[in-house]
Chains A and B, each alone.
Chain A
Amino acid sequence: MNGNATSLPDDELNIRRDYRPDQYTPRPQIQTAHRWFHDRKKQLLTVVALPATGKTWFLRRLQEEFNGNSIVKTLWIEVDDLLSPEMRHGRTREVRDIADIHKHAWFRDFKQQLAAQCPDVAALPYSETDDIAELVEALANEICQNCFAGQQVVLFIDNGDILSNPGWREFERTIIEPFAREKSLRLIVAAREDQKIETFFLKASQQRLILDDLEDEAGEQQMQKLAQEFPMAAPRVAHLLKAIPAYAYSHAGLNTFLYLYADKYPDAQPDRHFLRAMVDVLNRFSEDPDELIELLEAIADYADEWVIEQMAEWQSVSNTEAWERASKLIDNWLVVNISRNRYKIVDGVREFVRVVLKLRATLAIEAQTDDPTQVINGLEQLTAVTAQNVRQTNVIAGKAWVTLELDAEAANELMQLYQNKQLAGAGIIHMRYEANKLLHLISNLFNVDEMHELCHCLGISYEDLAGGGKRRKVLELLGYYERRAQMPDLLRCCQQMRPDANWQI
């Protein structure tokens, strides 16, 4: 079950499925869309969401509801239909220009479909040498002023996220704008967060609708529907979810992925293959999912939310390097900027990453007592911490210091309790994450080839270290030397290969 960086996303795990009304999970934002329609103040409704969070099904549901209203006429454009088959199934979002030949092919089909409902459309002049934007403008005029006069025409545009930003701009200029010049036509466009409408007059008449995560009840409802659709996969999904109790079914695409994955792989486990498939499926254009997983791994063991400086300190890199890493994850929809300078891994993804990669975090606790046992007992009573989590205790200047090692998820829950002042009973006055400096130093100073050299220096085989990515291998290396109390040997080799770094840890 090993993936590789250049393979295409697995079609059987494609969460972009044909709309099925019985499988649709109601979303409250549909009311906002209806209000937009009835208010008639704005020509354009842009439905914005992260990829794979249910935009298409939301639009399909809305179309279905509009179709139940005789005064509304809906039309649908699938952006994929303007692309060549190679582009449609391509790995990267590099579509910068849509070839005229494909635009014309789409236009002929679109016009033909309309002509079946309105014969006058067939009479519109057409030549392959005509400019597509002018053809669209004339068609839009015919549709609204003649064919469906008396009805409100609503045009849905979906799957624009297949296009690069320059490609999207060209599509906007040559297809959306000519439609929108017909002022009586209303448009609903599904778009990525970064896919802006630049057309001035449309932007001035735009309402943005943000499709948020599923709320608890809706998430559960979607999971139930998926369980009915994939009865064989249901117990396997339950098994997967048992390992990830923190996941609240909030991510529509992830929910679907869980069932598709469990349906395809009877022995589905929350392992690295699972994670790679997940990253691959959530963003089918991610160029190097393995690199993204490495980056996620390096930040998922830290707090749920963080700022760039904290990330830099945590990973022992410069602010600039931390910014670049965060930006790469943001570009691939795995991290979001919450507000101001705060970031987090996308809800849902974070929980899976932590469990799958078995990430652990270290917390340093300072307490107002000279008895560390008292602190541990207090924590045992208030939280799920046990004596097994204790790595070190100390008493300095009349204050107890306790170092705990926990699953990243449990560590974050404990930190939340501390921040909410719910640990006062245990006498805790300060709690902070303790970075594993050695892990970050080695991860940052050695690339994979150099890791091979380091292992050679240590007399072990890099391949024999468990785990997929470099960071995982470094963790294994550290664990190996810690268990054997041979850390000085490791440090000696590191010092030899990187004499300028500070190895006094």
Chain B
Amino acid sequence: MAARTFAPNQKRDISKRKQFIEQTLRLNHDPFAFATAELELQVQPEDSPFFSYFVQPPTFPPQENLLERLRQANPVFIFGPAGSGKTTLRYALEALCRAVPDGTLVVSYTLGKTEAPVRGETAVWQSLTQALATDLFVQVTEQLHSMGELGPDVVQRLGQFWHGVIPYYGRNLRRHLEQNKANTLTGISPWWTTWKRAAVRYTPLTPKRQSFLQQLLALEEAAPPVEIYHSELFYEGAALAAEIGFTQVYLLVDAVDSSQQQKIHLEERLSQALPAIHALSPPIPLYPKLFLPEYWQDHVNHLATALGWLTPQTLSAIIRWDQPEALHALITNRFRSAGSWIRGFNTIAGQEIADKLDDMMIQTANQSPRRLLQTASLLIDAHVMRQAEESLITAVDWNAMCQMWSYDSPPSPLPLMSSRQTGENR
């Protein structure tokens, strides 16, 4: 399914959509522009509304406070179909751990995105070590003010590790320091997007932080890039984390939705990564937290059993958006995040569909948040193609959306009433 939410063969009229969103509805941004977490994070990256969209996904078995459960020091296995919000949940856990630190180093490893060109165990360690180094750099910088003094020796070892492992680390850090751009709401957090990490908290460029980053930059020459990756390098990073006060590592593993051929490759990669991590015995406890497609459930359960990760404390759950109110909350939350009093599409619907538009959209979504967002976005496109300055969405728009539909299982058009009944503008 396409990531962007408008049909590929339809040209989205951006100016009309912008007019409808910003002038007619008076939203401060378009909360339905994209339907995947990665793209949504790019909306206002300096202070992304992405995290304020978050709605706890319903799961089987049900969890009263899923995020708190995820945050506990135990292995976690979350499964779900494509578009069910696994990546969003992974980002939410990462954001929670970084925004309210408690000694946990949270490392994000995405299967299928950051894959090295080489195969085999070396590639696994390359990806894992780069992920660890990147997250360690971001989280040390974020928490620098509350970490106490880091001695010159520690700074030197940290710098050498980061320069050696993170691609183009020195070049990118220098660029940011030279540009010296800091945002009043997030400080230097937007810098993290360079290293594919989200801005989740305000991190000011204080003299202490600036000095720390300058010291790191000065170490560039002393640290040639690492060419051979193995478990010792990962171990070294984890030991550094322990030395500066981190007490545990959460390894968040997320697999992107992929083609059949990639699935086989990713399954192979996962089968290599999990035993390798288990065999590592890092200097501080490491808890795997996996966010994986539902079809991997049996395979992963088999692996986890073999590794002894399935204990009574382990959380294993499947995301199931089978509660319409949860999907409705998703719509409401997005309008609210865009600074509006509008609570749902029913509020901006013409009279003849005002009591059922949200329900129709939720039915079309077929228990998929991504599909719900695609429906919302396409409906807005259909409406603005008719009349961007008109505030109310009508049955005519719904039917136009059905015609523009390019995903599977198209929704049903509505029988049309007279123009007066449909609330057409006079």
Contacts and interface: CB of A to CB of B under 8 A. Distances in A.
Interface in A311-356: 312, 318-320, 323-324, 327, 330, 337, 340-341
A309 B349 CA distance: 10
Contacts of A180: 100
Contact of A318 (B101, B146, B350, B425): B425
Contacts of B342: 337
Given A320-B24, A323-B24, A201 B99 contact: yes
Interface in A164-208: 165, 169-170, 173-174, 177, 180-181, 183, 193-194, 196, 198-201, 203-204
Interface size class of A (residues with CB under 8 A): 35 or more
A129 interface: yes
Nearest to B422: A309
Nearest to B91: A200
Interface stretch (A130-138, A407-415, A463-471, A475-483): A130-138
Given A200-B95, A307-B354, A133 B392 contact: no
A120 interface: no
Interface in B39-66: 47, 49, 51-52, 54, 56, 65
B186 A173 contact: yes
Nearest to B344: A340
B51 A341 contact: no
A119 B260 CA distance: 65
B339 interface: yes
B351 A320 contact: no
A337 B351 contact: no
A323 B336 contact: no
A308 interface: yes
Contacts of B92: 200, 204
A141 B423 CA distance: 57
B347 A340 contact: yes
A330 B341 contact: yes
B204 A320 contact: no
Contacts of B96: 200-201, 204
A320 B49 contact: no
B52 A133 contact: no
B142 to A, nearest CB: 11
- Give the interface SS of chain B, mostly helix, strand, loop or mixed: loop
Nearest to A98: B184
A177 B202 contact: yes
A130 B204 CA distance: 10
B121 interface: no
B73 to A, nearest CB: 16
Contact of A131 (B49, B95, B185, B206): B206
Contacts of B28: 165
A489 B300 CA distance: 86
B20 to A, nearest CB: 11
A210 to B, nearest CB: 13
B341 A308 contact: no
B408 to A, nearest CB: 30
B346 to A, nearest CB: 4
Interface string B333-359: 000110111111011111100110000
B351 A196 contact: no
A280 to B, nearest CB: 22
A193 B341 contact: yes
Q: Which secondary structure dominates where chain A touches chain B?
A: helix
B346 A337 contact: no
B354 A340 contact: yes
A380 interface: no
B166 interface: no
A97 interface: yes
B204 A341 contact: no
A341 B354 contact: yes
Contacts of A41: 65
B52 A309 contact: no
Contact of B346 (A312, A330, A340): A340
B11 interface: no
Contacts of A196: 52, 336-337, 339
Contact of A174 (B200, B202, B340): B202
A330 B339 CA distance: 13
Given A198-B337, A201-B99, A309-B350, A319 B204 contact: no
B286 to A, nearest CB: 23
B202 A173 contact: yes
A201 to B, nearest CB: 5
Contact of A97 (B95, B145, B184, B390): B184
Contacts of A203: 52, 54
Nearest to B52: A198
A337 B337 contact: no
Interface string B124-140: 00000000000000000
A170 B184 contact: yes
B52 A134 contact: no
A198 B49 CA distance: 8
Contacts of A97: 184
B392 A319 contact: yes
Interface string A284-328: 000000000000000000000001110010000011100110010
Nearest to B355: A340
A314 B99 CA distance: 51
B245 to A, nearest CB: 15
Given A173-B186, A198-B52, A330-B341, A130 B206 contact: yes
B204 A200 contact: no
A173 B100 contact: no
A204 B95 CA distance: 11
A320 B26 CA distance: 12
A200 B89 CA distance: 12
Most buried by B among A97, A165, A199, A341: A341
Contacts of A131: 145, 204, 206
Interface in B69-95: 92, 95
A307 B99 contact: no
B7 interface: no
A200 B52 contact: yes
B347 A309 contact: no
B185 A337 contact: no
B52 A129 contact: no
Contacts of B364: none
A320 B391 contact: yes
Contacts of A199: 99
A194 B346 contact: no
Nearest to B353: A341
Given A131-B204, A170-B185, A307-B354, A319 B425 contact: yes
B184 A323 contact: no
B339 A165 contact: yes
A273 B67 CA distance: 54
Contacts of A323: 24, 391-392
A204 B207 CA distance: 33
A177 B349 CA distance: 37
A190 to B, nearest CB: 18
Interface in B194-240: 200-202, 204, 206-207
Contacts of B426: 312, 318
Contacts of A165: 28, 339
30 contacts: A131-B204, A131-B206, A137-B145, A165-B339, A169-B185, A174-B202, A177-B201, A177-B202, A181-B99, A194-B339, A198-B51, A198-B337, A200-B92, A201-B96, A204-B56, A307-B354, A309-B392, A318-B426, A320-B24, A320-B389, A323-B24, A323-B391, A324-B391, A340-B346, A340-B347, A340-B354, A341-B346, A341-B348, A341-B351, A341-B354
Given A173-B202, A177-B202, 16 more contacts: A97-B184, A170-B184, A173-B47, A173-B186, A181-B101, A183-B102, A196-B52, A199-B99, A200-B92, A203-B52, A204-B92, A307-B351, A312-B426, A323-B392, A340-B346, A341-B354
Interface of A: 41, 97, 129-131, 133-134, 137-138, 141, 165, 169-170, 173-174, 177, 180-181, 183, 193-194, 196, 198-201, 203-204, 307-309, 312, 318-320, 323-324, 327, 330, 337, 340-341
Question: What 3 pairs between A and B have smallest CB-CB spacing?
Answer: A200-B51, A323-B391, A341-B354
